[in-house]
Structure 1
Amino acid sequence: MARKIFCEAYIQDMTGPGYVWIIYGWYDNLWWLEKDNTIGCTVMEMDMAISSATILTIGVVTLSSEEGPTISGLTPQELQSQFEDRLAWPINGGFTRTPETTYSAYGYDTAWAIALVLNKSIEVLKEKVFSNGKKRRLENFTYKDGEMAQMFLYLMKEIEFDGASGYVAFKNGDRLGDLVISQMQGNLTRHIALYSTQNERLKWINNITWNGGFIPSDHTEIIKLRHGIGWRLYTIMGALAGIGFMLACFFGGFNVKYRKHSIVKMSSPNLNSIIIIGSTFGYLSVIVRGLDGTVLFLETAITSCQVLY
């Protein structure tokens, strides 16, 4: 599935330094180099897609890194060493250890969780009366007994302990365990950080290596630009509007002073006054309304905009 997704991403040009991929960490090493005839990419193209992008994996902690004792009294490292010793096989008079089992610590913690739940249920069953009006013992349980199963599920919520795989607790039937964030660096997977579900803290172990040397953006960048006329154009138009305003004032005064003159009376002084007043406001609007954010401070421009509009 992952090979198909990365192949499609490569075809659509969604790989490279500007992309970060987060995938589950249960895949084998060099999984993308396995030949797959169901996808439309070659092994070389898959290698280019993987190596060009920043790829993080999220997986479970297979063995706790805590140095303190677990519920058994032994540290996770001591438990793992005992487990490997028990799997040693005699060869030529000596012993050789089998390859490490990835989820052995989880099997160990599962056995402890079951034991703790059963131990808790013994005391509960001494007082609990079921729907048939009778009490039951632990040995009376069957897989068809839904009531006892619900009781076990309820008791499971109260279970919490430090196990070989880390902190063990349950919520709604799901295991709450620590997560490890790793990065595929070349042909190796390197642990980057640990996330603890117990205290909801992220502990960084190593730095992330960003392909391309920069951190890709995790959101759409919004750049706000103030658009307006340039100050040169505003100066020229403002000067012309100022000249027009002064001429309008001059002609307005001339019209008022000589309105009773026969020649002026023939041109309708009242109509002239209306035209001059309109022209005056028109020239003023060029000067005032041209004062936008490129000329004034932003706060002043916003205030003038609210007043004028």
Structure 2
Amino acid sequence: MYTESELQELENNGQVMFRNGERMGTIKFTQFQEGQEVKVGEYNAIADVLDLINNTMRFQGVEPPKDRTFVRLQRRNINVPLYSILLIKMSSPYMNNLIILGGMLSYSSIFLFGLDGALVSDKEFEALCTVSI
């Protein structure tokens, strides 16, 4: 474990330093140009200095890319007949009927499992337990 003076000495040697639990050091900026990684700059977080190497950074087009997203509102038209069709395509009517039956049974089981002996008689409760199983 380093003391504060030892960490300060590491800073002077150009290595790394910690401030408020955060690592402070140098960050190297590189850019791929023609299949090669080229160093275009460096940021020293300890001294808070940004050093960009002139004429090494390249951008597509005539200028650097914009630093924010531009939002453009645009009105779109939607075809009216698209909303006039209100039928479910019955490509498999037997499957659709089974899905509806399964949904109805699932919803009815909520009421069957929610019943207790205080709401119905013992004989009805026994029959409902058999039905719910």
- Select the structure with the greater relative contact order (CA < 8 A; seq sep ≥ 6): 1
TM value normalised by structure 1: 0.20
Bigger radius of gyration, 1 or 2?
Answer: 1
Higher percent of residues as helix: 1
